[in-house]
Chain A
Amino acid sequence: MSQDGEQQSLVEIRGLRFVRGTRAIFDGLDIDIARGKVTAIMGPSGTGKTTLLKLIGGQLRPTAGTVTVDGQNVHRLRRGGLYSLRKRMGMLFQSGALLTDLSVYDNVAFPLREHTDLPEVMVRDLVLMKLQAVGLRGARDLMPSELSGGMARRIALARAIALDPMMIMYDEPFTGLDPISKAAIVELIDTLNEALGLTSIVVSHDVQETAAISDYIYVLAEGKVVGQGTPDELRASPSEWVRQFMQGLPDGPVPYHYPATDYAEDLLAGNG
């Protein structure tokens, strides 16, 4: 966070391998997340993008390889160290993951009450500031069940920045939102990163929205990085695969059909 640390990346992933069951979800992944920037991790559904965030957050253990956050190897930390590192990381879940038995206000106050001994007046001020930042100060008395998907995600974002973290991980922040809410989230990620001096990791498969705000993009497929660069570099990528993904074409190097036996043979097989 100091000036001389500016050059160094905040998150370094080296040779990451993660196996679930018999399938290797990641196999030799190398990723650097630069400080103060918005870095996007993109890829088709099912490439384990959410898993990657859980590995960075220390909720899952890799089969091999290292994840270093702010100079600390996440999976070598003891519980106490991991927890104090997590206080400096915010994570925005796709579902929002708001606590359903608490009001919006109490949800945003939750991390403050759990981790600080601030008097209630100060908690109130902080909560209102965070809610104002996401434009939902007026919704403080609602319960999570009364919120729309977009509002829930913005409340969750207010909660994620409650402890003033150094970085935020966004898990599919644009999925399932109407165009207006989507634009609001795009705007928020961009402004918060700027205004709070955060480092943001955005995991998504929405090419347009993500490319609009990210400084650098990694494209993952089949457990490996298949393309990386600034949004413009990727659009002009020599790899046909990356271009298919960035332009959203239904067929190309990634086949339209799930691997199967020959179509005619398969149909005839039903006749016994």
Chain B
Amino acid sequence: MNALARLGRTGLAFFERLGRGHVFLAQMLYGLPSMLLRPRLVVQQIYSVGVLSLLIIAVSGLFVGMVLGLQGYNTLSDFGAAESLGVMVALTLVRELGPVVAALLYGGRAGSALTAEIGLMKATEQLSGMEMMAVDPVRRVIVPRFLAGMIVMPLLAAIFSAIGVYGGYFVGVGLLGVDEGAFWSQMQANVDLHEDILNGVIKSVVFGVVVTWIAVFEGYDCVPTSEGVSRATTRTVVHSALAVLGLDFVLTALMFGDV
């Protein structure tokens, strides 16, 4: 009976939190239009979640592209199709690795920072203080960060993919001797703007919304102690990674399932 009661309590707590998370999402969406009047708040956040994540995104993109070039060449050359290396690298990045890996990195770099920042603001009564100054902390603190995450994620994914393509080019054409003309022309002929690039952008927007939502909610909802903030930060990284990978499968099935 005790175990059953505990299971029930855990289940209730889970669903209660899920509900709070969605109410919070609704509050954020409701607050979005107010950002039109205060673009400066959003720009500041784009800098701190986006520009400051650029380095890790660029370096990772380069290495992922280089690995793709190496592995792709090994497999493709067995079938005498080494000229298709460009297509392979580009499609893998644009469709999958760009949005997914960029979102994972964004969750680890910017998401955890968002949670810790908001959690500490809560622990030091800054959010409560704003409320008492008749300033809505959701609109003043949360919504600019949420919107910035939505804007930044597709851009980061695009940068990741572009640098990755150059990484693949550097290894494939520069080191392994794939024909340069074939590398680019096959890529140009086979990567479709609508089918591949747009779907990749849609994925990264969805990941941006979900990861940022998880990050700001964990911060806003955390237990306001140092332990609570640290747990919330861990949860942000774990949950956002799981959400990105899970959603990626769902989105891929919807977009490319019938191909």
Taking Cβ atoms with an 8 Å cutoff, the residues of A that contact B are 54, 57, 59, 83-84, 86-87, 89-91, 93-95, 97-100, 110-111, 114-115, 156, 159, 163
Within 8 Å CB of B140, what residues of A?
A: 114
Assess whether A89 is in contact with B125, with CB atoms less than 8 Å apart.
Answer: no
Note all chain A residues with C-beta closer than 8 A to B133: 86-87, 110-111, 114, 159, 163
Question: What B residues does A89 contact at CB under 8 A?
Answer: 132
Q: How far is the CB of B89 from chain A (nearest CB, A)?
A: 41
Q: Is the CB of A86 within 8 A of B132?
A: yes
Of B129, B130, B132, B136, chain A has the most CB atoms within 10 Å of the CB of B132
CB<8 Å pairs between A and B, sample of 25: A57-B131, A57-B132, A86-B131, A86-B133, A86-B134, A89-B132, A90-B132, A91-B132, A93-B125, A93-B128, A93-B129, A97-B124, A97-B126, A97-B128, A98-B126, A98-B129, A99-B126, A100-B124, A100-B126, A110-B133, A110-B135, A114-B133, A114-B134, A115-B134, A163-B133
Note all chain B residues with C-beta closer than 8 A to A95. 124-125
Residues of B within 8 A of A (CB): 120-121, 124-126, 128-136, 140
Partner of B129, one of A87, A97, A114: A97
Q: In the bound complex, do residue B135 and residue A114 qualify as a contact, i.e. CB atoms below 8 Å apart? A: yes
Chain B residues within 8 Å of A114, by CB: 133-135, 140
In the assembled complex, which residues on chain B have CB atoms less than 8 Å from the CB atom of A110?
A: 133, 135
CA A98 – CA B124 in complex, angstroms? Answer: 9
- Inter-chain pairs besides A57-B131, A93-B128, 16 sampled, C-beta below 8 Å: A54-B128, A59-B128, A84-B134, A86-B131, A89-B132, A93-B125, A95-B125, A97-B125, A98-B129, A99-B126, A99-B129, A99-B130, A100-B124, A110-B135, A114-B135, A156-B129
Question: In chain A, what residue has the closest Cβ to B135?
Answer: A114
Contact (Cβ within 8 A) B135 A59: no
**How far apart are the CA atoms of A114 and B130 in the complex, in Å?**
10
A93-B129 Cα distance, complex, nearest whole Å:
7
Among B121, B125, B133, B136, find the residue whose CB has the most chain A CB atoms closer than 10 A.
B133
Least Cβ–Cβ distance between A90 and chain B, in angstroms? 8
Roughly how many angstroms separate A214 CA and B6 CA in the complex, as a whole number? 50
The interface residues of chain B lying within 8 Å CB-to-CB of A90 are 132
* CB–CB A59/B125 < 8 A: no
The answer, among A87, A94, A98, for a CB contact under 8 Å with B134, is A87
Q: Separation in Å of the A78 CB from the closest CB of chain B? A: 13
| C-alpha spacing A99/B126, complex, angstroms | 6
A93 contacts across to B, CB distance below 8 A: 125, 128-129
Q: How far is the CB of B130 from chain A (nearest CB, A)?
A: 8
Residues of chain B within 8 A (CB-CB) of A94 are: 125
B128: A residues at CB distance < 8 A? 54, 59, 93, 97
With the chains together, A117 CA to B147 CA distance in Å? 25
Q: Complex: how many Å from CA A89 to CA B120? A: 25
Distance to closest chain B CB from A200 (angstroms) = 15
Q: Which 9 A-B pairs have the closest CB atoms?
A: A97-B129, A86-B134, A97-B125, A91-B132, A83-B134, A87-B134, A111-B133, A93-B125, A114-B135
Choose among B124, B128, B129 the residue with the greatest number of A CB atoms under 10 Å from its CB: B129
Q: Given the complex, which residues of A lie within 8 Å of B125, measured CB to CB?
A: 93-95, 97
